Copies of this chain bind each other. A is one copy, B any other.
Amino acid sequence: MWTIREEDISDIAVGASILGSGGGGNSYHVELQLRELLREGGRVEVIPLASLGDDDLGCGISGMGAPTVGIEKLPRGDEMWQAARALEEHLGKKFKFLIIGEVGGGNALEPCVAAAHGGLPLVDADPMGRAFPELQMDTFMIYGVRPWPFALADAQGNAVVFGPVLDPKTAERLGRAATVAMGGTSSLALPVLTGREAKDFAIVGTLTLSRRIGASVRLAREAKDDIVEAIRRVVPAEELFFGKIVDVERRVVAGFNRGRVHMEGLGSCASSDLVVDIQNEYLLAWRDGEAICTVPDIISLLEEETGLPVGTESLAYGQRLRVVGIPAAEKLKTKTALRVIGPRAFGYDLDFRPLPGRIPEVL
């Protein structure tokens, strides 16, 4: 068990943005919110996955929608807890824990805010180990946790409880439509699950992992050490490319950011180009037309000058970036999982080509 301290916030934000494969949303506003909550005496207890009782009831929480919308459409602050509370009221039961829905970007910190609002412990785990664009793309849905009831809430105080729903893809379709009607982003409480299910299917220790990556990057920035090396001290990481953005195609389509970013190589990559495909997250990286990093492996784009990760919502012409690949968690690489989150699930006629290495489990 540990408690989130003010100085942890930016470390978690940086680490989760590196793990987020460009997704999970910008963390700026939620960092401010969480800092203020802690200063006002709010408390976020982070408990180990293994500490859950088999029959404890909890739910996953995350944001839904297009990251570019999230920059301008500010959260109220309590909507994620309101989504969880809508489920509690619907079920007539109280939750004993909350669990991060995806550990990427701002979506790693918003559950901390929700945990403080709800006075509930936050489990040190998540079902992605990164961010994914669609609701059915997590280990809870992949390995058969029931997708309903689930709830959405927005910054205006509206809430919607879904269920029964046929299957996770239907949940995604209905939830996405409501998210678009809520203005392009919403807070999602999904799934309702037992401690047993969380322990069986979640990826362990990913909040701690985010904090450690962030701290390592912070120390390296202070010491002017190499950032990729700093990441590699915590997780396997491969530098895939170094270059400059020459074009960004990015649209808001049906509640997603979709598009691609084009880069021209610099330094040792000078004669190469790189294209990264986007659906909220960085999905595939193509170097000179060849896929060199494929979903579910993580693609992280780091600003050359600051060493900080750049989310899909913040891409801009002229940015000089280091492109880093990080292997996905093992639970994302099974045949069952790849049917939902492999390249083919995103419409590519391509098999997953795993990066070497194994991401550590923080028990």
Contact = CB atoms under 8 A, between A and B. Distances in A.
Contacts of A270: none
Given A90-B90, A92-B92, A177-B177, A158 B170 contact: yes
A176 B170 contact: no
A278 B253 CA distance: 29
Contact of A180 (B92, B161, B177): B177
Interface residues of A, number: 22
Contact of A164 (B158, B164, B180): B158
Contact of A177 (B163, B166, B178): B178
Interface string A197-210: 00000000000000
Nearest to A173: B181
Interface in A150-198: 156-166, 170, 173-174, 176-178, 180-182
Contacts of A92: 92
Contacts of A156: 166, 170
Contact of A162 (B160, B163, B170, B176): B160
Contacts of A159: 162-165
A149 to B, nearest CB: 8
A49 B156 CA distance: 36
Chain copies in the assembled complex = 2
Given A159-B164, A164-B157, A174 B170 contact: no
Interface in A115-162: 156-162
A181 B179 CA distance: 11
A174 B157 contact: no
A158 B178 contact: no
Contact of A158 (B160, B174, B181, B182): B174
Interface in A3-46: none
Contacts of A162: 158-161
B181 A174 contact: yes
A166 B157 contact: yes
Contacts of A157: 164, 166
A166 B160 CA distance: 12
A184 to B, nearest CB: 12
A352 to B, nearest CB: 30
A168 to B, nearest CB: 12
A92 B92 CA distance: 9
A181 B166 CA distance: 13
B160 A174 contact: yes
Give the 9 A-B CB pairs with smallest separation, nearest first: A177-B181, A161-B161, A177-B177, A160-B162, A158-B165, A174-B181, A173-B181, A156-B166, A159-B164
23 contacts: A90-B90, A90-B161, A157-B164, A157-B166, A158-B162, A158-B164, A158-B165, A158-B166, A158-B170, A158-B174, A159-B163, A159-B164, A160-B160, A160-B162, A161-B162, A173-B181, A174-B178, A174-B181, A174-B182, A176-B181, A177-B177, A177-B178, A178-B178
Given A159-B163, A160-B160, 12 more contacts: A157-B166, A158-B164, A160-B162, A160-B163, A160-B174, A160-B178, A161-B162, A173-B181, A174-B178, A174-B182, A177-B178, A177-B181
